[in-house]
Structure 1
Amino acid sequence: MFTPSSRTTLVLLSALLILALALRLYRVGTYGIYFDEKSTLLISQGVCLEGFNQKDVFSKTYFTPAEFWKPKTFNDFIEANIRGDIGNSPAYYGVLWLWMEVFGLSDTSLRMPSVIFSTLIVWLLFVFVRRHFRSDSMALISAGIAAIEPFFVAYSHIARNYSMTFFLTLLGTHLFLLIMERVRSSPPSGSKTPSLPVLYLAYGLVFVTSVLSHYLTVTVFLCHGLYALLYLRNTRAWVTLGLTSAIGLGLVSLWFIYGGGKYTFFTLNYQASFYKNIALTNPYKSGFGIILPATIPNIAVRAVPIFSDLFIITNGMVAVLVSIRNSMLALGLGVVSTVIIHRYITVAKPPVWVYAAVAFLFLVGLPFYSVEPLRLLVLSAVVPFVYLIGRYVVDRTNADQKRLVVILLLLAFVPTLFLLFMAWRSGHTFGITQRYSGFSFPYVCILIAMGLRQLVTLRWWFSLPIAIALLIQTGNIVQLLVDIYADEAPKYTYFDKARIPNPYWSSAQKLKELYTPGDTILYPNKKRQIFSEKMDRTYSPVALLDAQLVNVYLPQDAAYIQRIDPNDRDRIVLVKGRSGEKITIFDFKGSTYRYGE
């Protein structure tokens, strides 16, 4: 039976979930799939990029959609996974295949699993905080932050494994903490915690599914191990966790021994050498973005935006952090204001000057900031806000919850630190990117919620200046969401100019409308650069990707006559059989939509 307070919580949570879903559905199918999503689409259908497992189809002069769509085997799926994603993410591709069998192959359908998992993160974060921190208000604030977090919104629009892995790793952490709780004591009265055997089984299954959704999820489970080293003193629990981990690793190893994972380490070693060579010889104009040698200064420079954008209150601050003088002034003023807040936070009647001191310290820097003064004003509020997080932990958490804060901090920072270590070990900075450590975002949302919860307890002359700075940052977040929806947020969408709608889908619709028996469809031959003889080289002297992606959207039983035109780089053309008339279905020339885009 719901109490009035729990009914209110349920209504607010429902509103947040509706908001989260709306933000993730808005314009989800507007822009065409980019290169990684093209890989996702083909892999999910068991099709190798450039047709390595379709030699019998494309080695002939002509081919048909019916031949392209001939039944695929599990070996086809493995081969496609190897060549399209180095054997990574088979669990995600399995989920996506099942989804698309039911809901079809549109761009929206392709991205819907990401939308659903991203929305579920908001719900699970509420459950996580409410269960482990025993606070409805904290749970709602955390879920609210996750609902509007630009990183989550952006990756809900991308047909890749990331949203699924973020959800799975949060679920894994939830199960791990339930195990720790049951090991230390009986569950709280009124809770419906499953038995330990069920929890261990669920944790093991989530571990296996997570790692087979993205290999770097191991960094989250590494944090679980570090936490256990700090706080677990139960021999039986250690043995059971060890067995659970060993069985899970054994199941994962089957993929590395018999499945697509067997080529993963070969490919990773090749890529490390390849990108290191670029970093040493052509770091700025290789076509892969800026790839620098992994010196400590270079790694630090690449790490700054990763850590900055991890926290919603500092998202985008890298624009001002590059100016040392401005950022040091803003941070210095923040430190002084924090000292004043700390000194007088518990004083009932502080000196008169204190009432205006914090606001003055935020504003005094504005005449001296030479770049983006409003962002620097927000930066000056970061130090007192971090202090408020610490104050919440000290004043408002019990001993058990303080231990939970430790695992929050581990999960907030270890995945990115692991990336930095791997970059240093590999000798290049290519892999230092937000999505590879995005598992940290849910836990950072909780830390931010602690600061906001503490902020409302301050007296207004302390809280108002910080609140105004946070409102300014809210405006920045809204603008970032606008840029994401406009496909002009490169750090998330990879584009600073909006992509066109999916030309492969629209071309397929035109062909279905115009094709008559006797016609021939010609596909362009986009020259490919071969980077790895073992992984990239195919039997075909012409590029097949454009033809493959159009055929994905053609009827699976169609007998359309098709071939690759080796002399045309840009156009999909329909040649009418009787007249020989050439109808250009789509011209890729000048459009931001080709192999590497």
Structure 2
Amino acid sequence: MSFAPHRRTHLFILVGIMLLAFVLRMYRLDAYGLWFDEKSTLLVSQGIVLEGSNQKDVFDKATTGYFTPREFWKPKTIDDFIEANIRGDIGNSPAYYGLIWLWMKLFGLSDFSLRFFSVIFSLLTIPLLYQFVTRHFRMEPEPASRLALITCFLAAIEPFFVVQSHIARNYTMTFYLTLLATHVFLLLLEKESPGQRRTPTRLYVIYSFLVAVSLLSHYLTLTVFLGHGLYALLYVRKGWTWARLALSAVIAVGFVSLWFIYGGGKYTFFSLNNQAKQYLSLALTNPVNNGFGLILPATVPNVFWRSLPVFSDLLLFTNGLATAVVGYRNFAIALVLGLVATGWLIRFRNQRQPPIWVKFGFPLVLAVGLPFYSINPGQHLVLSAAVPFFYLMGSAMREDVDRRNRPLLVFLVIMSLVPTFFLLFMAFRSGHTYGITQRYSGFSFPYVFILIALMVMKIASLRPWFRNPLAVVLGVQAVFLTMLFQRIFNDTESKYSAAPLNRQPNPFWTSARKIQELYAPGDTVLYPSLRRHEYSEIDRIGRSFSVIDAQLVNVYLPNEATYYQRIDPNEPDKIVLIKGKTGQKITIFDLEGMKYRY
């Protein structure tokens, strides 16, 4: 099999992009301990309920008697997995938990193994994006491949994608699944277009399967399929196509409904209703120091300001601007300069030899505000250039894409916006802003990357006096993104997750290793415990003390071990080993309050 020279070159570039993505996702992958959501992943996937409602025989006696790792690891049933899923994640993501359970059976329970599962799906998204662009854009092969490579590069360096690769949760898997489902959806519509043979039934079966698995990986993937439905309303006219799409959706929903009828999903709406009431109460009474982050009442101003960073961070060239741009005066200066620069672009970009003052004035217009910005001048410079960037993105969509691709561009815009607009709708419906967060609308990123790639190609086609200043601004933004990566890798940036900052290596894994090293027959391990609160029926276990510290150590201990262990209700922080022969107390680890427990 032989490839044209440009295809071989593009293949090598794609491999290089994949290597870059791999390095960014692997760097310091397990340097920091698991945070609360990842602890949920670890326990739920093993059929272990957080706080042990399905381990009452183990922990109800834990303050007066002993338990062992063998008792902790007794075989779990399907009912155990369902209960763990209900109490640990409101019945959400059973497909993800099933796959991560199988993965850990094969590769162990280490932090690296747990997170590497996320890395795999994040990496798989990149070649899928390449296939998506080259397959669905009706362009000559070389420019289509170039557009696809730029898109893949953007996906490789997107900070949000890198962060989610470092988190043992379902997000990278859902981004991959929904992009694959979208790819199949477009193939279906292409096969159903006039002049094509009837679409193979297997494509509808695959699409239905992907819809079902996506929904069972995260319920909010629904927003992606709402986007599919909206596009179908706009462009599908054949009744037979509608009938087959409807049948595919019914089959998918029917399959998912089995989980809602017989599995953990039957408690989902009950749990969501309780959560909505709890978050609304906090928004009205304690919006700041509530343990969940900032939660505000869903007024129009609050929803606007809370959603602004979500929209801003969808685009690499505006990433971070929503929080860095400060002051109405600074904003006005940047906006006015950006509008002037855009006006010059509109007036002179197609001229071979514009007036000399345009050539020298364009970069000056972008930079003239630097002495006048009172804070973050570099990021206000980027904001001023964002105006011509948006103009060039629109121009690229209007001028550089074949008319046959116009419906596809409409589809990309729909898919870029619907997930976030759905979050805004739900915020107003529930009365609070807690759910307005990037990870709940991250399904939009692949489609946004394509639109940005079109803009980049448009910039490359400009005359040097326009292209070079804009490239310099993109370089400035690249510096800020590099600084963001530095903070992410140093665990001093929680922009894309609710994880605590400045984490240490996993203290529970460290404690388990130390216990195995020091334990001798007759010794006893004592675990600390905090008082726990039961907020709803889902939390109700009937135990006033927490056992999660003991659970998180035992999950790393050998499942046949017979170490004697107890809970010390009077000790809030220290894991202690008491030597049986001497009574010596050895501190295995001091959790120091909530420092290691988030």
- TM range, normalised to the smaller chain? over 0.9
Q: Does 1:177 align with 2:186?
A: yes
Task: Report the CA distance between 1:195 and its aligned residue.
Answer: 5.3
What amino acid does structure 1 have at the position aligned with 2:543? Answer: S
Alignment correspondent of 1:166: 175
Q: Indicate the residue corresponding to 2:15 in structure 1.
A: 14
Question: How far apart, in 1, do the equivalents of 2:500 and 2:540 lie?
Answer: 31
Alignment-derived partner of residue 379 in structure 1: 383
RMSD: 1.4
1:124 matched to which residue of 2? 128
Structure 2 counterpart of 1:183, which letter?
E
| Structure-2 residue corresponding to 1:592 | 595
Contact residue 129 and residue 139 of structure 1 kept, 8 A: yes
Report the Cα offset of residue 364 of structure 1: 1.3
Would the aligned equivalents of 2:47 and 2:80 in 1 still touch at CA under 8 Å?
yes
| Pair 1:149-2:161 in alignment | no
The question of whether the paired residues in 2 share the 8 Å contact of 1:320 and 1:326 is answered with: no
Conservation of the 8 A alpha-carbon contact between 1:484 and 1:492: no
- C-alpha distance after superposition, 1:348-367 (max 9, x if no partner): 22222211221111011112
1:206 is aligned to 2:210: yes
Question: Does 2:489 match 1:489?
Answer: no
- Given that 1:320 and 1:327 are in contact with CA atoms closer than 8 Å, whether structure 2 keeps it comes out as no
Q: Does the aligned pair in 2 maintain the 1:500–1:592 contact within 8 Å?
A: no
Shift of 1:480: 0.8
> Which amino acid in the other structure matches residue 14 of structure 1?
V
Of residues 451-460 and 483-492 in structure 1, the stretch that sits farther from structure 2 once superposed is 483-492
Q: Please list every run of at least 4 consecutive aligned residues from structure 1 whose deviation after the TM superposition is greater than 3 angstroms.
A: 493-497
Is 1:547 the equivalent of 2:518? Answer: no
Correspondence for 1:234:
238
> How many residue pairs end up in the alignment?
589
Distance 1:377 1:194 in 2: 53
Matches of 2:124 and 2:302 in 1, distance apart? Answer: 36
In the alignment, what sits opposite 1:456? 460
**SS of equivalent to 2:586:** strand
Q: Distance in 2 between matches of 1:527 and 1:325?
A: 50
1:590: how far off? 5.4
Counterpart of 2:311 in structure 1 is 307
Deviation by residue 1:238-262 (Cα, 9 ceiling, x = unmatched) = 0000000001001011111111010
Question: 1:541, CA displacement in angstroms?
Answer: 3.0
Q: 2:574 aligns with which of 551, 571, 575?
A: 571
Query: Shift of the alpha carbon at 1:263?
Result: 0.5
In the TM superposition, residue 538 of structure 1 has moved relative to its aligned partner by 1.0
Give the 3-state SS of the residue equivalent to 2:495 in structure 1: helix
Cα distance in 2 between the residues matched to 1:369 and 1:84: 48
Instruction: Verify: 1:425 aligned to 2:429, yes or no.
Output: yes
Distance 1:55 1:406 in 2: 55
Q: Deviations over 1:184-210 (max 9, x none)?
A: 1567xxxxx995312111111110010
Structure 1, unmatched stretches of 5+, are: 188-192
Cα distance in 2 for partners of 1:107, 1:186 equals 53
Please show how residues 459-478 of structure 1 align to structure 2 within 5 Å: 459-478=463-482
Aligned ranges for residues 262-277 of structure 1 at < 5 Å?
Answer: 262-277=266-281
2:219: which partner in 1?
215
CA distance in 2, matches of 1:386, 1:186: 37
CA deviation string 1:291-330 (max 9, x = no partner): 1111001100101111111111111102333422211211
Of 369, 372, 396, the match for 2:373: 369
TM-score, structure 2 as length reference: 0.97
Q: Does 116-125 or 535-544 show the bigger shift?
A: 535-544
Contact 2:325-2:379 at 8 Å conserved across structures:
no
Three-state SS of the structure 1 residue aligned to 2:566 is strand
Cα displacement (A) at 1:497: 3.3
Matches of 1:100 and 1:470, distance apart in 2: 41
Question: 1:348 is matched with which residue: 348, 352, 362?
Answer: 352
- Which has the higher mean CA deviation after the structures are superposed, 258-267 or 584-593? 584-593
Q: Is the 8 A contact 2:192 2:199 kept in 1?
A: no
Describe the shift of the 1:496–1:48 C-alpha distance in structure 2 as closer, same or farther (beyond 3 A). closer
Query: Residue 513 of structure 2 aligns with which residue?
Result: 509
Larger mean CA deviation between 384-393 and 92-101 belongs to: 384-393
- Aligned amino acid, residue 450 of structure 1: L
- Kept after mapping to 2: 8 A contact 1:487/1:495: no
| 1:529-580 Cα shifts (integer Å, max 9, x gaps) | 3222x11121323211000010000000001111101110001111111111
The 2-side partners of 1:194 and 1:96 are apart by 38
CA distance in 1, matches of 2:51, 2:313: 36
Who is 1:29 aligned against?
A: 30
Bigger Cα displacement from structure 2, 99-108 vs 350-359: 350-359
CA 1:320–1:574: 2 relative to 1, 3 Å: closer
1:84 aligns with 2:103: no
User: Is residue 2:44 matched to residue 1:53?
Assistant: no
What SS does the corresponding residue of 2:575 show, helix, strand or coil?
strand
Residues 117-159 of structure 1 show CA distances to partners (whole Å, capped at 9, x for unaligned) of: 0111111111111111240000000000000000000000000
Question: Partner of 1:328 in structure 2?
Answer: 332
Aligned mates of 2:57, 2:168 — CA distance in 1? 29
* Alignment partner of 1:558 is 2:567: no
Asked if the contact 1:542–1:564 (Cα under 8 Å) also holds between the matched residues in 2, the reply is no
